[in-house]
Amino acid sequence: MSPAPDTATATAPVIAARRLVKTYGIGDAVVHALAGVDLTVQQGDYVAIMGSSGSGKSTLMNILGCLDVPTTGRYLLDGIDVGGLDERQLSLVRNRKIGFIFQSFNLVPRTNALAQVELPLAYAGVKAAERRRRAMAALTMVGLADRAEHKPNELSGGQQQRVAVARALVTSPAMLLADEPTGNLDSHSTKEVLGIVDRLNDSGRTVVLITHEDEVAHHAKRVIRLVDGLIVSDERQAPVEGPPPAMAGAAGALTRGGVR
């Protein structure tokens, strides 16, 4: 994949989606999961996508994460038209540019936390020693350095989710996508995970997350609401530049408190 020139990255939005349509099924059974979504997300933004169940949030997220392709419409990621990429290039994009966090079943079974976090680096061809160092740093960042040897079934739900966050950020991707990352967590674990996400955004990473909870949405700089595959509202809660609202409000206390 040919990376976009540096000058372009500085100005081009991370996400530029035009009239995304996704339909499932045919004939009478056709479902318009997305009915023409236009979305532009600038570098460093923190977007929460909300909407009732079945409104197309996950569908949109999967397309943004290059896991799925839209039926029609264009999607530019970092200025590159994803529709024109082949399989191999797509796997490179997923590896280098995107960090994905799912609601559940996030971790590779029977693989310890360290190996888990090393995985994207292994796929990127990073050498073993370097990989270990960076994976350890990522685990330390999410406060799980002492759980490096634990397998998924030996970790709590919140810890698993934090390992997933570490894995998503270890390659330093331009964009962090999270589909209800706290959906299965209690309020304490939710705070921990969100604290980490806030800090990542503070350090300049673009974040898009799906949530059902208003408390989670309060962490975002921008809230988008979907209804029946269409964007019905798009509110800005904080400027793109500057810290996320939760960190600005609590002057960092929440973050510190959040990460144990």
Q: Which residue ranges make up the site for Mg ion (CB under 5 A)?
A: 58
Of 31 and 124, CB closest to another protein: 124
Q: What are residue 208's DSSP bridge partners?
A: 47, 177
Return the one option of ligand ATP, another protein, Mg ion, none that residue 95 interacts with (CB less than 5 to 8 A, by type). another protein
Q: Which of 53, 88, 129, 153 binds another protein (CB under 8 A)?
A: 88
Contact of 245 with 255, CB cutoff 8 Å: no
**Could you give the CA distance from residue 252 to residue 257 in angstroms, rounded to a whole number?**
9
**Could you give the CA distance from residue 69 to residue 23 in angstroms, rounded to a whole number?**
11
> Is residue 7 near ligand ATP by the rule CB under 6 A?
no
Q: Which of 167, 205, 219, 225 binds another protein (CB under 8 A)?
A: 167
Q: What are residue 77's DSSP bridge partners?
A: 15, 80
Report the length, in residues, of the chain.
260
Of 75 and 100, CB closest to another protein: 100
Tokens of 162: 């934090």
Hey, which residues between 90 and 109 contact another protein (CB under 8 A)? 91-92, 94-96, 100, 102, 105-109
The site string for ligand ATP over 49-68 (x = CB under 6 A, - otherwise) reads --x-xxxxxxx---------
User: Could you identify the residue written with the tokens 């009239």?
Assistant: 19
Hey, which residues between 115 and 144 contact another protein (CB under 8 A)? 119-120, 122-125
E strands present in the chain: 15-24, 31-41, 46-51, 72-77, 80-81, 98-101, 175-179, 206-210, 222-227, 230-236
Four-CA torsion 53, 56, 62, 66, nearest 10 degrees: -170
Residues lying near ligand ATP in the complex (CB under 6 A):
24-25, 31, 33, 51, 53-59
Residues lying near another protein in the complex (CB under 8 A):
62, 65, 67-68, 87-88, 91-92, 94-96, 100, 102, 105-111, 119-120, 122-125, 167-168, 171
